[in-house]
Structure 1
């Protein structure tokens, strides 16, 4: 075999190995229960308490219910005391677990000392950084956002600073104990530069990159940190769109996403959302960024928001 043949055979082998690795990754994402089964006692083995931000409704409330069913006591944090108390009562009565509430508005700067005082001394095994906001109730270009200066501050405080500060509060005790789980909620729109979701998508890209880098720093300490990257979930943020094969209920999404906690440092949390992620990556960026696509996307989303 001459040098050229050796090169071609080696190249072919490398391509086959690459394809095999990609195929293995696909099957792991589609069948997490087969490849990375989560033991029944896994969540309760991490600690006594789970902390969920934005836990009074939607995805956060669903995480609170599901983690309570897995045996953890729950702390839900949000800015609306009435909604918190209603959720806490329902979770406690349904699961029999202790549920505490902390009132905090993550768009503000002066909340973290209060949160830290309420978490002091607790064995927190799971943190779900779920709280997040959109800069506008309607889909629009950056300069068309009402009260833009205030919305910039609010989005950064809630979507970026809140997650970072909560990790700073909870991580030290997890590191001491050598175990813990942190789930950071990103978004499917962070997968590519997404016009009309400019500020929100950028903040959620921060969540993904921050989470994956933090996992690299603390994986050796026995801590799992994962970016969860959903697409459509029927919540107030999505104007309670009708659930279907793509748009899941919060309860459906949370149940499936918890099957992925051992898969790696990022997950779309469900088979349908994983497939959507692959499709989005395959669409040429020129199409996604075209004026026609922006107009159609804004029309579709804003009709959903307005109930038309």
Structure 2
């Protein structure tokens, strides 16, 4: 009986040891997963805190955006919403501006408004980004001789209202692809070389929180914003060695013309800031963090959204898109 008893004890000890190894492995994987999740969500906040403290320890560093990047800022989609308010905030900080948008009359109005409020130089360029290559050739000519310190790739095209792909006009689908993917890519391609040569500058790409998961009823728009995310993050690594800052901003709902199809969104609230409030917050983060939602309540929403599995986020996005579509169609019937 003794050998059998010893064998049983040995087997139990071995099984206990194996279970301990499995438990340790599960614990380590869980710990690393949580650490990676927390780092991914709080690295922006940590970067902002670090940047705010740096002047106390390294007072020789540039203290303003003008010192860091230069005197001129180029903003696309500058006549409405985030683009317009971003331009006004940069003007408040002393930047000369090049405003790029499609409508000449709106550009003149925004230029006059900014010049009446701030002592800065302004220039406007009226181009339609939906025309593709010819738009960038015109911009390149107009920007000749201007040292661009900040490029804000804000221009974008959204559906008129959420809908299934087969119901979206084909011309609109082309516009979304050409503008949302082409503008940020090609303007960066035109302007990055001069920033690299000066070892100074910042490129800000306005993406969208819709990139966090597939968005049924906004499929093409959300997919183009995922492109902006990957494009910006890759560009950040490419230009880091040249001392050029690249920032990705991923807002959720903001009170802009883009969301006028929904009366519930346009009511605003703590989760849906005005374009002015959002722009002030977003500009504050420039030079402090490479990736941000741009606004504190959007950051909280992003954090909790990412706790859910991708499939669940997609289902929620589908339901949201469906409800917004119904609301938009009902709103159209009343007008």
User: Are 1:133 and 2:157 matched, yes or no?
Assistant: yes
Once the two structures are TM-superposed, the CA of residue 20 in structure 1 deviates from its matched residue by 4.8
Distance 1:185 1:302 in 2: 28
State whether structure 2 residue 73 is matched by structure 1 residue 58.
no
CA contact (8 A) 1:208 1:266 kept: no
Please state if 1:120 is matched with 2:144: yes
Q: Counterparts of 2:103 and 2:256 in 1: how far apart (Å)?
A: 16
Give the structure with the larger helix fraction. Answer: 2
CA contact (8 A) 1:30 1:271 kept: no
Unaligned runs of 5+ in 1: none
Residue of structure 1 in register with 2:176 after alignment: 155
Q: Distance in 1 between matches of 2:249 and 2:243?
A: 19
Offset, 1:61? 0.7
Conservation of the 8 A alpha-carbon contact between 2:48 and 2:289: no
Instruction: From the superposition, tell whether residues 307 and 86 of structure 1 become closer, same or farther in structure 2 (CA, over 3 Å).
Output: farther
Query: Greater Rg, structure 1 or structure 2?
Result: 2
RMSD: 2.8
Shift of 1:260: 2.4
**1:17-74, Cα deviation, whole Å (9 max, x unpaired):** 6645644554444576423329641344311100000111211111111111122100
Partner of 2:98: 75
Q: Per-residue deviation at 1:116?
A: 0.4
Residues 1:120 and 1:175: Cα distance change in structure 2 (over 3 Å): same
1:226 and 1:265 in contact (8 A); partners too: yes
- Output the CA distance in 2 between the equivalents of 1:189 and 1:305: 24
Say whether residues 1:88 and 2:114 are aligned partners.
no
Shift of 1:300: 4.0
Could you say if the C-alpha distance between residues 178 and 195 of structure 1 is closer, same or farther in structure 2, counting changes exceeding 3 Å? same
State which drifts further: 276-285 or 189-198.
276-285
Does the 8 Å CA contact 2:177/2:224 hold for their aligned counterparts?
yes
In 2, the alpha carbon distance for the partners of 1:59 and 1:264 equals 19
CA distance in 2, matches of 1:301, 1:273: 23
Pairing 1:91-102 to 2, within 5 Å after superposition: 91-102=114-125
Aligned to 1:298: 325
1:275 aligned partner: 300
Q: Distance in 2 between matches of 1:191 and 1:287?
A: 8
Whether 1:289 and 2:312 are equivalent positions in the alignment is: no
**SS of 1:50's equivalent?**
strand
Residue 91 (structure 1) shift: 0.9
**How far apart, in 2, do the equivalents of 1:184 and 1:292 lie?**
28
Q: CA deviation at 1:226?
A: 1.5
* Partner-residue secondary structure (3-state), 1:289: helix
Distance 1:221 1:287 in 2: 38
Q: Distance in 2 between matches of 1:196 and 1:103?
A: 31
The two structures have a TM-score, normalised by structure 2, of 0.81
SS in 2 for 1:193: coil
Contact in 2 for aligned 1:208/1:227 (Cα 8 Å): yes
